[in-house]
């Protein structure tokens, strides 16, 4: 069992930390939100007042923050964590951030003699709670082997997709497809409902037909279709619209970097931007259906 510092206890980090505690690891945790820390403490974690205090004696440091600027801010620069992490510790960033940002932080960690991998996740809050996440890893193979037992306590699939930053590229590919699929699934259900169909029956049919996806089966965007989906609790919890918007922006940047065409990804980015402008940025990204659902 390891002594782990866990920074960022939000919708994903909270349940991931809880699973590490369940597996028997010792956790020192930090978040900017006091209630997030209190939640982790209720599962057996030790609270700290700063991120620096959390990493003081860590063997493994895990971060799960919103975006590139938070991760760079945490590790780099004045007041950053890197000088404070014990020699020989392993650093795992599970946030979804720009590939170049992941490379920049890993390079600085390596220069300090610390191994670091990017290990963004897929599986949503349900996967984080169930401990069934998919980890998409970029970085050195030896570092991944050291991380594997800890990752296995939070997920069931681990893919090593390449060198530092590659985990982020692969994650952006996944989320670009997810963003498009969610938007069109909402559109399809809204069309059926406008014709008088029952959204539940329509979704059940789609879930065993050729348009089946995570959006129909697990995170259905129509309220009341699936009890456990964010749509059925006012689109709260889950994966924020503005986090999806961030990921589609990162995908667009990644596409421009290599001259790739992502017409549907760009269209989806605009839809999530419109949903954000409509005041739904903090809601689950499946709320994008509100743009097309009559009366919503």
242 belongs to the binding site for ligand NAD (CB under 6 A): no
In whole angstroms, give the CA distance from residue 245 to residue 144.
29
Give whichever of 2 and 11 is closer to ligand NAD, judged by the CB atom.
Answer: 11
Of 64, 71, 60, 73, which is closest to residue 27 (Cα–Cα)? 60
Chain residue whose CB lies nearest ligand NAD: 10
In the list 61, 65, 166, 183, the residue contacting ligand NAD (rule: CB under 6 A) is 65
Q: How many residues bind ligand NAD (CB under 6 A)?
A: 28
Helix (H, G, I), strand (E, B) or coil at 26: strand
Catalytic site includes residue 294: no
Give whichever of 207 and 218 is closer to ligand NAD, judged by the CB atom.
Answer: 218
User: In this structure, are residues 95 and 165 in contact, taking their beta carbons and an 8 Å threshold?
Assistant: no
Binding mask 105-124 for ligand NAD (x = CB under 6 A): ----------------xx-x
Binding mask 3-32 for ligand NAD (x = CB under 6 A): ----xxxxxxx----------------xxx
**Distance set, CA 17 to CA 7, 21, 63, 139 (Å):** 9, 6, 10, 22
**Distance set, CA 46 to CA 41, 50, 129, 163, 199 (Å):** 6, 12, 20, 33, 45
Give whichever of 154 and 202 is closer to ligand NAD, judged by the CB atom.
Answer: 154
74 belongs to the binding site for ligand NAD (CB under 6 A): yes
- What is the Cβ-side half-sphere exposure of residue 2, based on CA atoms within 13 angstroms? 21
Helix (H, G, I), strand (E, B) or coil at 48: coil
179 belongs to the binding site for ligand NAD (CB under 6 A): no
Q: How far is the CB of 219 from ligand NAD (least distance, A)?
A: 9
* Cα distance between the two ends of the chain: 49
What sections of 23-62 are H helices per DSSP?
34-42, 51-55
206 belongs to the binding site for ligand NAD (CB under 6 A): no
Catalytic residue among 171, 246, 290, 294: 171
Binding site for ligand NAD (CB under 6 A): 7-13, 30-33, 36, 51, 64-66, 70, 73-74, 95-96, 121-122, 124-125, 238-239, 243
């Amino acid at each position: 069992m390891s002594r782990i510092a866990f920074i960022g206890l939000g919708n994903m980090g909270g349940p991931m930390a809880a699973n590490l505690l369940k597996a028997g690891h010792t956790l020192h945790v930090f978040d900017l939100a006091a209630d997030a820390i209190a939640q982790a403490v209720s599962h057996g974690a030790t609270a700290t007042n700063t991120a620096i205090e959390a990493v003081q004696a860590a063997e493994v440091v895990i971060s799960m923050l919103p975006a590139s600027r938070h991760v760079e801010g945490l590790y780099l620069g004045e007041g950053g964590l890197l000088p404070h992490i014990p020699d020989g510790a392993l650093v795992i960033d599970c946030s979804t951030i720009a590939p170049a940002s992941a490379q920049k932080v890993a390079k600085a960690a390596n220069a300090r003699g610390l191994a670091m991998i990017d290990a963004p996740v897929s599986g949503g809050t349900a996967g984080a709670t169930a401990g069934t996440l998919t980890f998409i890893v970029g970085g050195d193979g030896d570092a991944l082997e050291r991380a594997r037992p800890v990752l296995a306590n939070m997920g069931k699939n681990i893919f090593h997709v390449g060198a530092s930053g590659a985990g982020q590229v692969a994650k952006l590919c996944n989320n670009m497809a997810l963003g498009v699929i969610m938007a069109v699934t909402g559109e399809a259900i809204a069309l059926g409902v406008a014709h008088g169909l029952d959204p539940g029956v329509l979704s059940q049919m789609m879930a065993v037909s050729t348009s089946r996806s995570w959006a129909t089966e697990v995170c259905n965007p129509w309220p009341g279709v699936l009890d456990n989906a964010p749509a059925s609790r006012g689109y709260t919890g889950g994966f924020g619209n503005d986090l999806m918007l961030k990921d589609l922006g990162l995908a667009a940047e990644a596409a421009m970097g290599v001259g790739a065409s992502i017409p549907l990804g760009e269209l989806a980015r605009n839809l999530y931007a419109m949903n954000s402008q409509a005041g739904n940025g903090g809601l689950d990204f499946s709320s994008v259906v509100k743009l097309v659902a009559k009366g919503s």
